[in-house]
Structure 1
Amino acid sequence: METALPIRTSTSSMAAGEPAHSGGFYFRFLPQRLFPSLSAPETTSRLRQWSMLGRLKAQAFGFDQTFQAHRKDDFVLAFFKDPNVIPNLQLLSDSSGQWITLGTEVKKIEATNVPCTQLSMSFFNRLYEEDIVRDSGHIVKCLDSFCDPFMVSDELRKVLLMEDSEKYEVFSQPDRDEFLFCLFKHLCLGGSLCQYEDTLKPYLETAKLLYKDLVSVRKHPQTKKIQITSSVFKVTAYDSAGLCYPSRKNHEQTFSYFVVDPVKRHVNVLYHCFGVGDMS
């Protein structure tokens, strides 16, 4: 099993003398910033099978000032109020299922810290060690049960969803909080017509590609060790009527993560809305 996770390296890209925004952060949309992990044919095919195709999107924005993690709430609120974000940040309409822009004034946000420390896919080796996945890579099946709103038909989904299952403790709560684990779990659970994989490899490969695309690293100048430079937040926003982003409906598989690169001064937004993915 391949373990190395070489991730996008940070280099500063802000032009000197760019104007600061009087109200705090100034953002700009970066449509030229592509996310090859999402457009690769193999990923597209998998997302179609998992009922996530056309419902999972990544967008990039730049910002103009030094990012300070302890001011994340100010940063995220400024993001939603920025005139360059409002017409460009995309989400799925609850009514039409089409991609739209926010179209409402955000009054309040919640930005939850998501730890992002993992540099190796060996993080998931315990799935083999605990016989959740066989040496062949096949996921061990179990009798069907229901863990609302998901069908559980194998040991992997048991570990992901069922707190009273005997192997749930294989991943501690700090493990489960990790961004890499969150990505992996979201891909495993998929959309509303998800066809589950029989083997672990497609989930691991796709999580790894996405993680590398979103997260930045640098080599520490003294120790030469690779360090993750990105800060990750799970974000929700509210308007005067209540929850408005990532959707007006709460669901475990409807999410938005902001991955902030303080060196490049970029924020990558990973968005998914639970539903029926593109089948065509």
Structure 2
Amino acid sequence: MTLRSWATALRQRLLSTTEPPSHHDLPETFSISPDALRLALLEYASAHEAAMRWTGYAGLAFSLWGSLAVTDFSFTHPKFGLDGRQWQLIFVVAASLATFRALTALAKYLRKPSVDALIAQVLSRGEVAQEFRAICLLKRRSSSHDYRILVYRDALWDCFLLPHYNMANTSLRDINDPNLRDFIACEIGVSPDWVTIERTEGTELRSRKHSEFWRQGTIYRFTFFIVKLNRGAGFPSHLSDREFVHNGRDFSWLTLSEMEADPNTKNRNLDMTRHIADRATQLLRQPPDSL
């Protein structure tokens, strides 16, 4: 096998066993300390420097093998204390060693870290914010036959958001989770006994966007729960109003179009409204109305 064919076979084997990195969960922005970034860049530069050494060894090996091909080693009188056969043996050993080093360095070159590997290394040393949220979806069909969703005006984001519960480091039941029932009951001012809540399968939303809280790119995972309210004695009448205030929050029953008509909501929460629109059958048409 020639050097070229060996290198080609090695490169194909390495490429066939290397999976391209996934960009699905890459945040738009993140934070990292200067020391951590410096260390990642130094490791990347060191690996690239070691990978490029194969050219020097290859040039040396080529020169030595070329010298063996054109040099006459038949002389018997010593030159610098060695005869021709001894000099030939030294050249063969040196050329073989240089060839071996060139091939091992070439293998390192073919395995040199890519830009994607550098990004992954930097991300592993950085701080990436992640949010896991349970979306409590309350919806009803109005007299004009459009679907209206209960949202509130969030002061931090300055846009309309659906009620949501932090799922980080928690495990929620698929049906009538007590913590989730108590959360949404407090949000809208009803008894937890009147709340029925159930997870919808196949509607999870994964999104990447800037977080106003973290002040950096954040990976979000939203799980949708359909909320049904069972009317009982003393059921609050404000839930039937188009707009109402509870616990200092301004709630509204809005259509998706009305939400997106708000500039800040369209800019900051379009992933949510489009996701609901794309899965309207599962999230709006099939489940019973919340009221």
TM-score by length of 2: 0.21
Q: Choose between structure 1 and 2: higher strand proportion.
A: 1
| Higher normalized contact order (CA 8 Å, seq sep 6+, divided by chain length) | 1
> Rg bigger for which structure?
2
